[in-house]
Each structure stands twice: as structure tokens, then as C-alpha cells.
Amino acid sequence: VDTGTTEQEDASSLDDDTVAMDVDLPQGDEPEKDGDESPVLTAGGAAEDPVDIEALLASDPDIHHWRIEAFSTIKERQIRSPSYRYGNHDWNLMCFPAGMNSDDLALFVEVTSGSSLPKMAWIKAGFTITLLHPTRPSDHKSYDTFHDFSRASLDWGWKQFLPLKALKEKGFFTNDCLDVIFKVKVCSDAKRLGAEPTASSDALEEVEEAEQLDLVGLENQGATCYLNSLLQSLFHIGAFRKSVYDMPTEDDIAAGKESIPLALQRLFYHLQFSGRSCSTKELTHAFGWDIADLFTQHDVQELNRVLCENLEEKMKGTKVEGAIERLFRGKLLNFISCTKVPYKSNREEPFYDISLQVKGCKDLAASFEQYVEIEMMEGDNKYHAGEEYGLQEAKKGVLFSAFPPALVLQLRRFEYDPQRQMMVKINDKYIFPPEFDVAHYCSEEMREAGECTRYRLHSVLVHSGDVNGGHYYAFIRPTSDGQWYKFDDSRVKKVFPEQAIDDNFGGEETYSYEIMGRKVATVNKRYANAYMLVYLRESDVKAMLRPIGAEEIPGHLKERFDKERAEEERRRKEEQEAHLYMRVKTVVTEDLVAYSQEPHFDLLQFKKGMRSGRYLKTMTVADFKAEIAVSLSEELGRTFTPEKMRLWRWVKRENSTTRPYKPVTEEGELRSLASYHKSTVPLKFFIEESLCQAAPYFDPVVVSEGLLFVKRYDPVTSTLSYCAHTLLSMKRTLPELLPTLRQLAGFAADEEVLVFEELTREQVTPVALEGSLADLEMGTGDVLVLQPHVSSDGPYPFPLASSYYLHVVHRVEVQLKPRLPPALDDSDDDDYEADVVEELVTVELSKTMLYPDVVLAVAKRLAIDPVYLRLTKAHYSGRPFKNPLNSEAAAGETLDKLLTHGNSVTNMLYYEKLDIPLAEYESKTAVVVNWQSDKLKTQKTVQLLVNEGATYGDVVKELLEKVDLHLGIGVRLLLVQDHKILRQLDGAAPLVPLCIGQSFVAQEKRPEEEGEELVPVAFMYKDYVLRAYGSPFLAIVRPDETAAALLSRLRKRTEMPDEDFKKLSLAVVTYKEEILEPEEVVLEKIVSRSAYIALFNPNKVSTSQYVSSRPQKSLKIYN
């Protein structure tokens, strides 16, 4: 058996890059040797017996043989073997004799009856394919694997089974025949952990039953599986759903506003009553998410926090205020208890979810034990028990003083690996039970209160994949009967409890099955494992999961959503009948006149929203004319009669113009609409109206005639207008037709005119006077432009129609936006647009203008001296580039280049009015300093200009001229790296450019008194690793000052609201953080010069680092 790898894939999907497993398989029983037959020598010289296929088949009745005869004469791309029965289905081999885009034999196993499978069913099967060598069993070529066969994946195998040239070189042919054997083993009896239900008869019935469920899925918009999983979990908590229904949204409905509560109510209503998969588009739109948000996968626990905080805020002041808190809020009791003196400190804090350690813990109980583990404070780490007792040995720990009805547990599957310096996923086995008792982790008061402490598992949110990407799905028990369901985006099915619980412990899984007489076992890691668990308190299960009937839903919601469902059903029915109808667009003279009011090319552009109708494909053109005549009469307020209407079909020419080209004859009007149109785009007609008062209203159009269209250009006003259309003989010359054309264009009979032909956007050429129109290759649909004859050097900006057309081609309406000061201008800030003062103005420019001319034109439009004007290019997203345009470098660039970035084009420029001339500004170095006074709330960003070769002292001098200082107070200039103070800068040192993540902070320099120390302070939170945010600062710490006293002073300095500041704890950070108790002395904990104080926020939610190691947009709900 060859155990090398080869390319294994679905024959219908050649992009699959799954690799075959390397598994040693037996050759099968050797046939008995015939003593009279000479042995065959292998390449290595060993003697082997020829292959006895009959004996091989007799050794295992499940092995089937396929002989491919006359191999070299096969012309078909693929051939199939006879079908054989395995389990409840027929199977066959599929061969590609000439290979599949390579010079290799391709072999696949195919489930013959797979197309009859229910759409949600699959068959787990292991199989082996062996290409037999006629004389040397050791040269047999064999591969095996297993696969989930389904309607979407009917075959599986190897497209590079063996190079075609090796078939001949190694002697696999016997009289131009190949012998192949194969065996399939349906894994209904496979002894493996986490086996999915197979497509046995029982399993198929279960899948068919799942399709009839009232439970429905949610559509994935790109990477929103995490959102879908969380929404399903929350929806199936009846108490949460009822709270959402009861949120007041009448005002939103009346105002036509799409709010988050209304969008969530609609989504829940459709999940409950629609019977089909629902879209989350309206909800994500209400979130304020764009396409980038939809294709960025975030952490489901982070979304849970953000969404619940958003809903909790919107519930304030309504009858459901506090609903989120009542469902999910518990309380933690942090305590320190001295072991030798009667001193104890307790601090209670709320929680909405619990983050539990997975690494090093075998199960849920072990994680809780670690969570409440007692820490002994002794030796150098003794606890300061106040003035009376001083430093004492103590026990420090945490207990739960209250558990919520719905207990949300996050399993910390993603952690930072300091050795690899990256986030990694922990796939270790971690057991969680279907029922769990939390009594052991409760405070004494809670146990004495006799509250129920038993919890029942409600939902398991699973992450499948690794740190670089993956997929979320959920297992949920929607009712109290114990039945589990799997919610995987739009797919919903019943599952066994083992699939919902045991299969998501992580660790390893073992596959074992028998192939060709030998048991084969493979062990694989489980990359799909539980990431978030939701337990419900047993005493509250019935109340939490009770059904929410239609009568409990507010009437205004039910009425609105039922109407929307009816409209959706109407549209759905219309889509189902769409194959019977076609869209037809019609154009009349009024449309051409209206289109020409703006300087457009061509006669018309067929844009969305233009006049169109839906008509039966079998309708005749005559009946269509009668129907459209009625609708046009009502629309335009004048009479249209079918007899006075002749239809001309439009065509898109090779030069991208769209023109009428052929009339519909009287005989043609008896044909159906569909006979004139075979594509999916709408059929288009131009309606020519007859001016005759009596029949016949139209003469037949002969081959030598053409329908021409006439426009008029006025060089005095630089305007272009549509005039008329007329049927002319193409045999006549332009001089012969000029009287008619003058009349149509509104010129006097003797007025001298110039005639141009509009060919394309940039090709408007004079029409020659010699030769007929046919000689000039003119015909139906061509456009002639007439203008009065004027001098080319006259006072006209565009004296000729051709020059005006070029102007229109290159002109562009440019939006001018004021740019924020560079210090505040952060292109990565999601709220940048909200920070820009909306003073949007526009100016019409030409793409061919050079930068200096653009500056002059923009300055004129803004009434700014061009010497003080600086421009910045804009990204396609609308945000400005980091660096403004340099006047010298951009001098030779055209406006077209200024508006182009890679393959993207924008129509926006940012501008700034400088305090000094731009030339002087560009000769200096710009420095941005964040200035902090004694109150952080009043800090401001200051932009400074210093000469080249300046020192940090020069920066301070420039700063002193722009800020107000208290008398006698100096300034400290600090270097900040990633929101933490790196060092104080020496005024004599030369100014050097900042690195990424660095900035300057300056603050007032107040002298320290004896014993006081100046310590850096940073705002921090922990996302498996410590992260800083906000503006750091230096603070004076007094001798013997406790954490509580310092916090009080810092509260006054930061001027943060009490509600926000209460969430902060004081910590000292060296290599790791140590949160200080209120009575602890701060300076005693600062034992290193590198130590700093952290205002620690345990509730801050950060950009998810769990699912991807690449930079991501932070998860935000904007509305």
C-alpha cells in the first residue's frame, strides 16, 4: 500500500484542497500459491504471486471489482462503474481516463442515489479505492478516506490518483484493461466519538421531521454567524423575547424610523411566525453596520455584552426598565479576611457573565474552583488592616452573593501565548454537564437564604476553527421537554443530547471502522468546541421558556408585521411568476427633452426608476400598444392613440451608445413581446407619434430611410437641448437637408449653421457637406447637433459644440470639506465623520486642471487667499489622507490624479486655511502636543510649528505661547507609547520623529513636597493581556496615601462622572497588575522604577482578539 498523499476532492468542486489521510490498509488475503506456476519477481527481486481477483473478491463480499476495458480508446471525459448496494444506497466508481486538468488518472466514489436525499441529510461513509497491479501485489495503488456525502456533495475521491504515464511504465495494463476494486462502509455503526447522525433510514426520517419544524434559522450576511448564534440563544429565552416585544416603538413606527428595538421586534416576530429562514439585514442596518462590519467576524461574548448594554440603555424610562438586569445580572463578593485578627473587608460588584479558565481545568467545576480559589496574603504581601492592626496575614478571595436566572458563561478558549507572542485557541477537552449546582461557590448569606442553586443547560454556542478564523453555530433547548436543536445559520435540525453536549467538549475524537478485513482507527483534534454556555435556574425554567403567544404581542406590532408579511408574500408570488412576465421600458419625446435639460450625452440613459412595466411575454405588440397608450395618456395629460404610435426598438451599439434602430411593422405587431427579446434586460421601445390627422398615419419605412435625432447647441449660454426627430432619406446630401434641419432646430431659414454628429462621449465631429448621408455612414438613431456659426476667438468659453462636449466629459463636481486639525484627524477613527464640521461646499472643475489651477479655483470658491490654502486628498471611504498635499511635489499633477487612489476614484478634497503661508508652513516641522492642565477634562490638542533642527525645549517654548499657565508653573513634555507614559523628555535633546503609536503629552509641572513621588497613571483594561486606552498623565502620590484616598483625588482630577468612575479599580502594574484594596498604601506597592498606576476598568469591552490575529474594526453598535 502506498501511504503517500495525493489530491483528494469532490469531482464537482475542483477548488477543494482537502488532502487524503495517510492510513495503512491491508492488501487483503493472499491467494493460495500454485506450485506449478513460476513465481513473479518484483523490482526489488522478491518473488510474488500474480493477483487472483476471484480469490480477493471471495475474501470479502463487500469488495467490488470494476474492469475498465479498452482504456486507450475511451473518448468520454468520465465513465462510471456499475452500481453496488452498501447500506441503504447505491454506490459506484467514477473515472476520468484523461485526467482532470492534469495528466493523472482520477478516481472518485459516488453515491448513485444521492440526488434523492433530503436537502439536510448526509451519509457518513468510509471507503477505499485500489488500483490492482496484474502481477505484483506490492505495486497495488490504494487510497482511503471518509466523507459526508449529501445532495451538495455526491462524490469524493482523488483527481491525482496516479500519473497516466505510470500506468504504462509500471505495467498496470492487462490487454489495455485496468482492474479497480473498491469498498464502501457506511458509518452507522462506527465506534467514534461525536458521530453525526448518518443517512440510515432512521436518520433520514429525523432529518425530514426537522424540515417540518416551526423553528427557523437566520441567513448569514457574510461573517455574521456569531450574531445569528447569539440571537437564536436570546430569542429562545421566552422572558427575553417578551421584554423585547414590550419595548415601546410606536413613535419609531409613526416617524418611519428604523430603530434597534423595532428591528429586533420584527426579527423575533418573523422567527416566531414566518416558517422560513429570516434575514438580519434590517437589524444590522439599525446597528449602523456597513459591508465591512458584515464581513468581519467578532467574538460572540463581546457582542452579547454590547447588545445587552444597548438594549438596557434603551429600556430605561419604559415599563421594561431593568429587564436585562433581572435576567442576566448577578453579584460577586470580593473579600479579604485577616486570619489572626477580627478584620474583614468586603466589596460587592455586579456581573452579567462569567469568564472561566479552560486551560488547566478539566471541567466546569474545576473552573469555578479556580475562580473562587483563596489567595493567602502573607510575607511581603501582607494586607494592611488599617491603623489598629497594621500589616496582617489574610485570605483573599471571591464568592457569589447572587446568581441570575440566566447564567452566561464564557469559556476562555482564546489566550495569549507569550512564547509564540500571539493569540492561540485552546482545544483541550473541557467537560460541562447538562445540570450544574453552584451552591459550593455561593456566599454564606446566599446559602442561608435558601435560593435555588441548580442550573440547567439551555444553549451551547460553538466556535469551529482556530484563532485565524472560524464559524459559530448553536445548540439550544427551546422548550422544557429536553429536545436539543442545532442552529447553524439558516439550517435547523434535531440532534441528540450527545451531539449538543459531549461532541463539543473539545479534545480529540476517534474514528474507527473496518475496511478490507481490518479495523482502522484515526485520531483527530476537535477544532469545534463550546465557547459560550447559557444555563437557566431550574426554579425559573418554565417561566423563562414559556411560549409567547400572539395575543401577548402588542397590537401595533402584530398589525404592522402582518402587513409586511402579506406584502412579502405578494412579492414572493410575483417572483414565482416572474418567468411568465417581462419588463418593457418606453420612451416618448418628453423623455428626450427632459434628459437634455442637463448636459448629457446620447439620447437617453436607461436608469432604474424610468418608465417601465411588467407585461405577459405572450402579449402581442398590438395589445401592448393599446395598454401603454392608456397609461401614457394618464401620465402625461395628453391623448395617445395606438394608431398614431409607431414603436422603434433600441439597441446598444459597439461604441456604448444606446439608440433606436428598427421599427416594428404592422405584421410585427401581431407577434408576442417575447419574440422580440431573448435576454433578461428589459425590452425598450421609442414611441414615434404621427402628426397626420387621417389614416394612413405612417408610411412604411424603406431601407434607404433613417430616423435621425436633432439637438441644438447655443455657444452664448453653453447649453445643449433636444429639438426633434425626423425620418429622412439617406440618399440625400446635407446641403439638401439643411432647410429641414434648420426648421427642426429652430433656426431662421437663411441663418448660417454648423452641423456636428454626436458619435461618442468624446467624439463629436463636423459633418461633411459632400456626399449623401448614406455615404457618410449615417442611419437610424444617429444624432445631429446644429449650432450658429460664431468666431472661434469670440467671447465664448466653448465656441464649438465639440469643445463643449469635451468640457462636459472632463468636468467634475468636487466636494470641498474642511479638515480637522491634524491632531484630531484620525483616519482610523470610526467616528471621524461625526467630528467634521459639516460645511460642505462644491465647485465645478476640470479633470485636466493642474494642481496650481485647482488651488486658485478652490480658493476663489471658498473666498480664501490661495497662499494660505492647503489641500488633502481623500480616500474612497471619504476620510482624508494622513499627509496633506505638498505644493512642490503636486505642482505637475492633474485634478484627475488628485481624485484617484489606486483603482478607486473620489470626488472630494479636504482643505485647511492656515495661519501662515503654505510655503512657510512646509519649511517647518509640525508637532502635535496633547496639553493637559490640572483637569484632564479640559485637555486640548495643540499644533505647533518649529524650525528644522529644533530641540524639545523649542517645542515647549512654542507651546507656552499657545496655552495659559498658572504663574510660576513649568511644563513637562512626556513621550507616550500606546497610551502609557514612556519617559520625560530632555529639553536639550534634538526633536526626533515619532514612531507608530507614539505621541507627545505636556502637563503643568508642579513641585513635589518631601516624601511625595511622581508616578505615571494610565487607564487600562484586560483582554487576556493588559491594554491601555485614553490619555495617561503624571500624578503626585503622597506618603502613606491609601488606594481609596488616591482614587478620590484622581476622581476630582479626571472629572469623570461618579457612575463611570465607580467601575474603576486602582492597580499597580509592573510585570502584571495587582489591584489594590482601599486600605492598602500605594507607595508600598511601587517597588520598581518601571511601575505605574493603572485605573483599571474590568468592564471595558475591546476589539475582539479571539477569532482573528489580524487587525479588526472594533465591534460597535452605533445607534
Q: Are 484 and 474 contacting, i.e. CB atoms less than 8 angstroms apart?
A: no
Neighbours of 555 (CB within 10 A): 8
Can you tell me the distance from the alpha carbon of 544 to that of 405, in angstroms, rounded to the nearest whole number? 8
Can you tell me the distance from the alpha carbon of 1068 to that of 431, in angstroms, rounded to the nearest whole number? 36
Which amino acid makes up residue 57?
L
CA 31-35-36 angle, 5° bins: 115
> Would you report the helix, strand and coil content of the chain in percent, each value rounded to 5?
25, 35, 40
Q: Are 55 and 32 contacting, i.e. CB atoms less than 8 angstroms apart?
A: yes
Q: Are 673 and 619 contacting, i.e. CB atoms less than 8 angstroms apart?
A: yes
Can you tell me the distance from the alpha carbon of 309 to that of 330, in angstroms, rounded to the nearest whole number? 15
Determine which one of 140, 298, 384, 471 is catalytic. 471
Strands 64-68 and 84-86 come out as unpaired
- Quick one: which of 1057, 1029, 1054, 1018 has its CA closest to 935? 1054
DSSP conformation letters of 458-505: EEEEEEEEETTEEEEEEEE--STT--EEEEETTEEEEE-HHHHTGGGS
Can you tell me the distance from the alpha carbon of 55 to that of 584, in angstroms, rounded to the nearest whole number? 71
Determine which one of 225, 278, 308, 442 is catalytic. 225
Can you tell me the distance from the alpha carbon of 579 to that of 616, in angstroms, rounded to the nearest whole number? 9
- Cell digits for 951? 530641540
Residues of the chain with pLDDT under 50: 1-7, 12-47, 188-212, 823-837, 1101-1112
Strand partners, 755: 786
User: What pLDDT score was predicted for residue 142?
Assistant: 87
pTM for the predicted model, two decimal places: 0.50
- Cell digits for 384? 494592611
Can you tell me the distance from the alpha carbon of 621 to that of 637, in angstroms, rounded to the nearest whole number? 23
Can you tell me the distance from the alpha carbon of 1020 to that of 1031, in angstroms, rounded to the nearest whole number? 10
Q: Quick check: is 95 catalytic?
A: no
**Residue carrying the nine cell digits 447649453:** 719
Sheet order of strands, 394-402 included: 344-351, 330-338, 394-402, 375-377
Cis peptide bond prior to 993, omega within 30° of 0: no
- Cell digits for 864? 480664501
Which amino acid makes up residue 467?
V
- Quick one: which of 843, 842, 819 has its CA closest to 832? 819
Helix (H, G, I), strand (E, B) or coil at 193: coil
User: What pLDDT score was predicted for residue 839?
Assistant: 62
Q: Are 148 and 117 contacting, i.e. CB atoms less than 8 angstroms apart?
A: no
Neighbours of 716 (CB within 10 A): 11
Helix (H, G, I), strand (E, B) or coil at 551: helix
User: What pLDDT score was predicted for residue 746?
Assistant: 94
Cis peptide bond prior to 342, omega within 30° of 0: no
Give Cβ neighbours of residue 104 (< 8 Å, ≥ 6 apart).
Answer: 159, 160, 161, 162, 163, 164
User: What pLDDT score was predicted for residue 483?
Assistant: 87
Can you tell me the distance from the alpha carbon of 1 to that of 24, in angstroms, rounded to the nearest whole number? 7
Q: Quick check: is 471 catalytic?
A: yes
Helix (H, G, I), strand (E, B) or coil at 683: strand
- Quick one: which of 941, 955, 950, 953 has its CA closest to 923? 950
Neighbours of 426 (CB within 10 A): 19
User: What pLDDT score was predicted for residue 213?
Assistant: 54
- Cell digits for 404? 441570575
